[in-house]
Structure 1
Amino acid sequence: MTSDVLPPDFKIISSLRYDPALAVIGKQRAAKSSSDPLSTPYYLLPYHQERLRNAATCFSWGKALAFLKQDTNQFVKFLDAFIPDDTKPWRLRIVMDSMGTCEVEVNPTTSMDPLNLLLPSDTNPQATIWHVYIDSECINPSVFTTHKTTARHFYTAARFRSGISSLLEQAEVLLVNPAGEIMEGSITTPYFRRRNAAGEEGGPVWITPPLSSGGNAGTTRQYALAEGFCTERIIAATDLVDGEECWLSNSVRGFIRGKIVLMGSNDPHT
């Protein structure tokens, strides 16, 4: 796709958490890999660079791609200039246009247990559980669902249909493609516990929708796959059960417990 078919104010984006607590985690993991995605206070920063590069390539934005090819250490120095206080956590929104202009929006965010930024385990059970709804309408997969951009009206509409009125609300809605497959969440990647397929060894495993279902190539999704927390498998919306437990993740909040709420069944919005 070329930029001349896009709205004039169209931009590619990536949101992430700055957290000084990540410096401690990075030191503990340093011996594991020199290219560890948790090696800076910017949560999964190498994956965000990759996500932005992939989007710039998709839209044929050569100038943006040239800027994004700087190494992670250089990018850290660029982002550091926007941090008001490096002792506090912040929510960053990296915004790039076709000319390679990079803006960084920085807003306060709440402190949290840094364990929530690591893969889910019994050591970080989390008391908070989000209600997870299933969108009542289907959304056609496109470059706008594959890449994170300012074209987000369909996510907003899905949240509205599910009765979610604020980003502060502890609730999520899962997008569904015309084939009836779960694509992703409006602001998170979902994970579900399933038995292995016939002929496969082992107990139940965590799965997440494949990109072929049309969802976003999220950074926490990439982290969960790379670390072996989950595998990819097509998930039919009709297979989800009311009250079913799941996990959600994004690069500002880390990993969050969720519970499927089918509309009309223990639904706080009805």
Structure 2
Amino acid sequence: MADTEAPAEFQIITTLRYDARLLELPGQGFPTAAWNRTPSPWYMLDYHRDRMLRAVEYFGFQSFDRLYRGEAGLRRFESLLQSEYDEKYAARRSKMWRVKVLLGHTGNTQFEFAPLSDAVQDVTPLNNLFPSCLPAPTGSDIPPSVSIDSSKPALTGSPWVIRLDVQIIKPDAFTHFKTTKRELYNDVRSRFNLTPAERTEVLVQNPDGEVMEGTITTPYFWRNQRWVTPPVSIHSHWGGNDGTTRRFALERGIAAEEVILASSITDGEFCWLSNGVRGFMPGFVRLA
């Protein structure tokens, strides 16, 4: 439960991917698929449910907790999402959707479906959703795509541009838990004149000059021959969001936690980004 008074008017949210291809995933040899080893079009749904439950416990939205905890609760959550999709969206052309789940303090649940653009559908191979590892940097030149040796599933994709915001964000519960109170992040994106369709991310930093996260992604940095991502504990001063794909990467040893100073980031540095809609994406830092 929150130990400080929280604003009354906000909703806990999570944003995930509906992808009809995932129904066929169990037979395609993805050992890292976790929840999606059983047929389901909902990308990492168990992690999204778990993240909402942690926020529910902190903010005291107990009705959701009672309904959706445990394996039976997860199936109930999936059924709720699937019913919404079947009733309103199944007949439409798009088979890939960005789905936002919004939970109010009284337990009321809302859904917002938006079809993923053709560009997003075309450039998101299944390997980018369930990687077994992330390719290390190979040089300073930007390649048209990024891949690894043929002994492991390849990750591909057009690189993102990664910027660094020099203004400071003070961590709090609303930077750690994902809610509709996203003015801080919206302001950052507005300063950089970004639209949702752009392949550009902005890293934000806390008052100690440590990278917290991106405005819509988890970043990964190559340090000491391994991929690392900033810590996000609610009990510390770091305060970034505990993302679903971040959890995926940490639990599978794809990345580790490490404090990243904003001053250590270099122009042209190769990084990875991830989120619960697009999976894992390559990117290059542009400081100018």
With the shorter chain as reference, the TM-score category is 0.7 to 0.9
Q: Which of residues 103, 108, 125 in structure 2 aligns to 1:101?
A: 108
Distance 1:4 1:176, change over 3 A: closer
- Aligned residues of 2:230 and 2:258 also touching (Cα < 8 A): yes
- Aligned residues of 1:117 and 1:253 also touching (Cα < 8 A): yes
Gaps of 5+ in 2: 136-147
Distance 1:99 1:4, change over 3 A: farther
Match of 2:228 in 1: 207
TM-score with structure 2 setting the length:
0.81
Establish whether residue 133 from structure 1 lines up as the match of residue 147 from structure 2: no
Match of 2:220 in 1: 191
Match of 2:62 in 1: 62
Q: CA deviation at 1:7?
A: 3.5
Match of 1:150 in 2: 180
- Stretches of 4+ moved more than 3 A in 1? 1-8, 26-30
Establish whether residue 37 from structure 1 lines up as the match of residue 35 from structure 2: yes
2:241 aligned partner, one-letter code? N
Establish whether residue 253 from structure 1 lines up as the match of residue 251 from structure 2: no
1:151 aligned partner, one-letter code? K
In 1, distance between residues paired with 2:155 and 2:29?
Answer: 21
In 2, distance between residues paired with 1:156 and 1:76?
Answer: 29
Establish whether residue 228 from structure 1 lines up as the match of residue 253 from structure 2: yes
In 2, distance between residues paired with 1:2 and 1:73?
Answer: 28
Establish whether residue 114 from structure 1 lines up as the match of residue 143 from structure 2: no
Q: CA deviation at 1:218?
A: 0.3
Match of 2:207 in 1: 178
Q: Which of residues 60, 67, 72 in structure 1 aligns to 2:74?
A: 72
Q: Which of residues 74, 90, 102 in structure 2 aligns to 1:85?
A: 90
Q: What SS does the corresponding residue of 1:82 show, helix, strand or coil?
A: helix
Distance 1:65 1:193, change over 3 A: same
Q: CA deviation at 1:23?
A: 2.0
Q: CA deviation digits over 1:15-49, x for unaligned, max 9? A: 0001011122234468x69x922242111100001
Establish whether residue 167 from structure 1 lines up as the match of residue 196 from structure 2: yes
Q: CA deviation at 1:125?
A: 4.0
TM-score with structure 1 setting the length:
0.87
The RMSD of aligned alpha carbons is 2.1
In 2, distance between residues paired with 1:96 and 1:67?
Answer: 12
Q: What SS does the corresponding residue of 1:23 show, helix, strand or coil?
A: helix
Q: What SS does the corresponding residue of 2:20 show, helix, strand or coil?
A: coil
In 1, distance between residues paired with 2:21 and 2:252?
Answer: 20
